[in-house]
Amino acid sequence: MHRIILLVAILFSVGQVAGQSGSARMVNWTFASKKIADDTYEVRFLADINGKFHMYAQDVGVEGPVATTFTFHRNPLLDFNGKVKEVGKVVRKYEDVWGGDVNYFENKVEFVQLIKLKKKIKTTVGGTVEFMVCDDKECLPPAEVPFKISVGG
């Protein structure tokens, strides 16, 4: 009986590790907020990309690769000012597999979203970021990473 329980536990552990998308393993995300005015914050998303991979920009340039996309949960205490901005060196390169010029980032990129609090209160900005990475030999399945960032207070 103990062997069966041990076997089930091992299989569950292996399934958990194997279940993590390849793209998620190749990018380390750091989330933070920075107050820039009395009621205005920059929400920052820093992507540290594994050296041999690149991550596609929000505007990939062609159909095929999955663009980096931010989805925010509704929060009635927040207003979003503009779109998420990319801060980093974008590479534009022709890739045969996609049949055109693609836009991507290597090593690191930071994304910044301006938000404004409607009230002086502590709250969170939550959601997910979806992205895909490739190297010169393969593309890994897209990944979605959740985030929850404190603002205000």
Residue 44: beta bridge partners?
32, 112
- 113-to-54, 121, 148 alpha-carbon distances in Å: 22, 19, 14
Of residues 126, 149, 150, 128, the one with CA closest to residue 31: 149
Instruction: Give the type of residue at 55.
Output: M
- For domain 22-151, give the CATH number: 2.60.40.1250
Rounded distance between C-alpha atoms, residue 102 and residue 79, angstroms: 32
Average model confidence (pLDDT) for the chain?
A: 88
For 11-37, what is each residue's pLDDT tens digit?
333 333 344 567 889 999 999 999 999
Give domain limits for the chain.
Answer: 22-151
Residue type at 95?
E
